[in-house]
Chain A
Amino acid sequence: MTVVRRFTEGSGGRPTPAVPAELLTLMDKLAGPPDVWDRPDGDFGPLSDLYELDIEARQEANSLYRIGSKALSRDELSTAADLLGSAAAAGHPGALFRLALVALRSGKDWIDNAWFLVAEAARHGHGDAQRLLTAPASCRPSPAGSAPLIEDTSFFEEVRLLLGVALPLIEPTPPGASPAPGQRPDTPDICHATDTDSPTAASGPALVPPTRHGPVPPPDHTPNRKRAHLTALAGGLPLSVPDM
C-alpha cells in the first residue's frame, strides 16, 4: 500500500488526510452506480429548508434512500416502500421518484398516486420527474438530436414505461436559460454529485460522533413481499432521438 491519494477539498481547514488508493476503490464499489440524488451531504435541493431536519437526520434519510434503492433493485417492495417512504417523508427528491416506482410496481390502481409522487419529486427539483410531468409540452426532439441528461439512470426508464409516457422526452435547454421550476440552478451533474471528494463534503456536518438511537422498535410480523424480479435498467440511458 504505497500509493495514496490526497484529498485537497473538504477538510475545513484541517490537515487533509491521505487515503489509501485501495480504500478509494472500495468506496467507489460501495457507492454503486452514479446517482445524482445520492446526497451524503444531506442537500436535498431547493425545498430542503421546508423540512425541520438537521443535517444528521438528512444524512440518515439519504442512507435509507440508498438502502431502500437496493431493496427496490431486488424487487423487495415492502422494504423499499418503508425505506424510500421514510426518506421521501424527509423531502428526499430521489426517494420520492423511486417511491413512485414502488407504487407503479404494486399495480395499476396506484398510477394516480404514482403521478402525485412524480409531481412531488418534480417540485423538489428532480429533473426526470419534471420532464415526465411536462411530457406533452416538451415531447419534441432537440435540434441537435442530443440525448437529455437522465438523473435516475437506474429506474427512469421503467418509471416512464409504467406511466405510459411516450418518448422522446427532449427538453432542450438553450445556453443561459433559467432552470425548470423547482430546479436549482446548481444541480450537479452525475460526476459532480458522486465525487466523494466533492466540495459539498466540505460544508458537511460538524464533528458529531454517533450516539445510539435507542432500543430496537418492537417487531412487525410482516414479511417482505416477494415477486418475480423486475430488472432495473442498469447503466446509462441515453435516449435515442429519431430524426425528424
Chain B
Amino acid sequence: MPVFAAREGIPPVVAGEAAAERSAPADGQPSAWTEVDLGKRLLDYYDTFMAQETQFLRSMCNGKLSEQACEDIAQEAFLRVVRKVAAAQLEPDVKIGAYLRTTSWNLAVDTLRAQKRTDLTDDTALVAAPNPQSEDIDPLKELVRPAIEAMPLSRRRTIVQLQSQGLDDAQISAALGIAPDRIHKDRYAAVSELRNELGKFIRDGHRKKTQRAKKDR
C-alpha cells in the first residue's frame, strides 16, 4: 500500500472526506468491488474536494495563487489521480482522499516554484548532450562556463533562419562553427534565459502600469 506524508495544517481526514476513505475489505485482498468502489469514492468526493481544496491552497499559499489558479490546481490534481485509477495504477485500498490532497499540494508547490522560476531540473545541471561521446570540449572552459549562458539575439535569429531552411542541429552547428554537442545545450540555455526575461518584462510592465494608475488618481 502506498505510503505518503500527511500535509501540515489539516488533519489526515477532513470533514466530508469520510466517504472517500472507506476502508478496504477486512482480508486486505483487492477485489473487483474495491476497484469499482475507488472510482465511485472519487466521484462522490469531487464536490467536497474542490470546495475545500481551493480554499486550503488559497490560505496556505498566502494569497500568492489566485482563487482561479487554486481551482485549476485542484482540478488538475483530481484529473491526474482519476487517470491513475483508470489505469489501475493505484491499490484499491489506497486512502484516496489523502492521496488526492497530497497530489494537489505537490502541484501547488511546483506552481509556486515555477513562479520563482526554479526549474523542474536544476539550472546548474546541464541537459544531456546529443553526442556525449564527443571529446572536443575543453574541460577548463567547461568549468568557467556558467551553467546558463546567454545566446545573443543575433545568433537566435541565425538559428531560426537556418532551421527554417531545413537544416538540422548538426548542420546548424557546422554552419555556426560550434561543436555539435553544444547546440542543444546552448538552445536550452537560451530558452531558460528567455523565459526569465519574459517573466521579468511582464512583471515590470505591470508594475509601471500600476504606478501610473496610482499617479493618475
Q: Enumerate B49-79 residues with CB–CB distance to A below 8 Å.
A: 60-62, 64, 66, 68-69, 72-73, 75-76, 78-79
Most chain A C-beta atoms within 10 Å of own C-beta, residue among B68, B85, B94, B120:
B120
State whether the Cβ of B130 lies closer than 8 Å to any Cβ in chain A: yes
A7 contacts across to B, CB distance below 8 A: 86-88
- Which of A10-18, A149-157, A170-178, A184-192 contacts the other chain? A10-18
A106 contacts across to B, CB distance below 8 A: 198, 201-202, 205
State whether the Cβ of B103 lies closer than 8 Å to any Cβ in chain A: yes
State whether the Cβ of A128 lies closer than 8 Å to any Cβ in chain B: no
B168 contacts across to A, CB distance below 8 A: 181-182
**Chain A: which residue is nearest B151 at the CB level?**
A116
A162 contacts across to B, CB distance below 8 A: none
B108 contacts across to A, CB distance below 8 A: 216
Contact A119 B115 (CB under 8 A): no
- What does the 1/0 interface line of A51-93 toward B look like (CB < 8 Å)? 1110001011101101110110010111101111110111100
Contact A81 B42 (CB under 8 A): no
Contacts A90-B120, A207-B89, A213-B106 hold; do A30 and B78 have CB atoms under 8 A apart? yes
B164 contacts across to A, CB distance below 8 A: 119, 133-134, 136
Contact B202 A225 (CB under 8 A): yes
Contacts A120-B187, A209-B4, A224-B206 hold; do A82 and B199 have CB atoms under 8 A apart? yes
Contact A212 B194 (CB under 8 A): no
Could you list 11 examples of A-B contacts with CB < 8 Å? A22-B43, A60-B107, A64-B110, A83-B111, A88-B191, A89-B195, A196-B83, A213-B109, A216-B64, A225-B205, A226-B206
Contact A59 B66 (CB under 8 A): no
| Bound Cα distance A210, B115 (Å) | 21
Contact A86 B76 (CB under 8 A): no
Contact B87 A207 (CB under 8 A): no
Contacts A30-B75, A67-B76, A82-B117 hold; do A212 and B111 have CB atoms under 8 A apart? no
State whether the Cβ of A204 lies closer than 8 Å to any Cβ in chain B: yes
A17 contacts across to B, CB distance below 8 A: 35-36, 38-39, 85-86, 88, 92
State whether the Cβ of A96 lies closer than 8 Å to any Cβ in chain B: yes
Most chain B C-beta atoms within 10 Å of own C-beta, residue among A12, A209, A225:
A209
User: B120 → chain A, closest Cβ, in Å?
Assistant: 5
**Chain A: which residue is nearest B113 at the CB level?**
A217
* Chain B residues touching A, majority SS: helix
| Bound Cα distance A218, B165 (Å) | 45
- What does the 1/0 interface line of B180-217 toward A look like (CB < 8 Å)? 00001001101110111111011101110110000000
State whether the Cβ of A23 lies closer than 8 Å to any Cβ in chain B: yes
A89 contacts across to B, CB distance below 8 A: 119-121, 188, 191-192, 195
A99 contacts across to B, CB distance below 8 A: 195, 198
Contact A52 B127 (CB under 8 A): yes
| Bound Cα distance A16, B88 (Å) | 6
| Bound Cα distance A167, B211 (Å) | 41
Number of interface residues of B (CB under 8 A): 95
Contact A212 B116 (CB under 8 A): no
**Chain A: which residue is nearest B115 at the CB level?**
A82
User: A42 → chain B, closest Cβ, in Å?
Assistant: 11
User: A123 → chain B, closest Cβ, in Å?
Assistant: 7
Contact B114 A82 (CB under 8 A): yes
State whether the Cβ of B48 lies closer than 8 Å to any Cβ in chain A: no
Contacts A119-B164, A225-B203 hold; do A18 and B120 have CB atoms under 8 A apart? no
User: A219 → chain B, closest Cβ, in Å?
Assistant: 5
Contact A20 B39 (CB under 8 A): yes
Contact B199 A85 (CB under 8 A): yes
Contact A10 B198 (CB under 8 A): no
A79 contacts across to B, CB distance below 8 A: 66, 69, 115
| Bound Cα distance A103, B181 (Å) | 28
Q: Enumerate B90-134 residues with CB–CB distance to A below 8 Å.
A: 90-92, 94, 99, 102-103, 105-121, 125, 127-130
User: B21 → chain A, closest Cβ, in Å?
Assistant: 15
User: A56 → chain B, closest Cβ, in Å?
Assistant: 10
**Chain A: which residue is nearest B94 at the CB level?**
A209
